[in-house]
Structure 1
């Protein structure tokens, strides 16, 4: 059984928290509470990147969750042209850890180029049923 939900968010700082609340609600509804912490952190990082680097003024970004038999896929789509780059963060640095964390927590991570903008995605493996 595959499930899917998406929500759009305005280009505001409060949208990062709203995107976290969205994924927590969806994962709770789908009974995937074991993935909440990792996906909540990842959506926070990806939504922040969309706000800082990807969403032109006056535009929204979209957060989607989809499932397959083995995976949950998180996507953050924005209409900006900038390409995300994973950086190995400096110990003293206060920034630059977002995509590094996403890559470390997710089973897979990537970027799909759209006609306008891009979709940054991360997949998380569901545990095998007992």
Structure 2
């Protein structure tokens, strides 16, 4: 069964922690126990990027989670221009590592452009034994 849930967040610092909380609450309600730390970190990075680089002042960004059997897709959409750029930060730089973390943790990652803005997404393969309903035990 395909599951989907979306929430919009204002362009404010508190929205990053609210997005993490929304993602974890959703995963718990859907019975996805596996890889919550990976999803939480990626949501944090993608929401931070939307906040800092994607959502223009006065606008929002949205977070959508889609559960499809053993797959969870995280989508962060904003109305800003441009595409996320992979950075090569120096060792003492305070930022620039977020997309590297997302690429390392997610099983798939990409950007879908649309007017206006874009959706940055990541897919996570969950252990079917840890997902309610995927192994006949849910």
TM-score category of the 2 structures, normalised to the smaller one: over 0.9
Cα separation, 2, equivalents of 1:38 and 1:122:
11
**How far off is 1:55 after superposition?**
0.4
Which moved further from structure 2: 63-72 or 22-31? 63-72
In structure 1, runs of 5+ residues without a counterpart are none
Q: Note the 1:1-130 alignment, pairs <5 A.
A: 1-129=1-129
Q: Is 2:34–2:127's contact at 8 Å kept on the other side of the alignment?
A: no
Larger radius of gyration: 2
Matched residue of 2:121: which SS?
strand
**How far off is 1:50 after superposition?**
0.4
Cα separation, 2, equivalents of 1:32 and 1:90:
36
Q: Is 1:50–1:61's contact at 8 Å kept on the other side of the alignment?
A: yes
**How far off is 1:68 after superposition?**
1.7
Give every structure 1 segment of 4 or more consecutive aligned residues whose post-TM-superposition deviation is greater than 4 Å: none
Matched residue of 2:34: which SS?
helix
Cα separation, 1, equivalents of 2:65 and 2:34:
15
Cα separation, 2, equivalents of 1:35 and 1:114:
29
TM-score normalised by structure 2 residue count: 0.89
Which moved further from structure 2: 42-51 or 86-95? 86-95
C-alpha spacing 1:96/1:5, structure 2 compared with 1 (3 Å): same
Cα separation, 2, equivalents of 1:79 and 1:13:
17
Question: How many aligned positions are there?
Answer: 130
The alignment yields a C-alpha RMSD, in angstroms, of 1.2
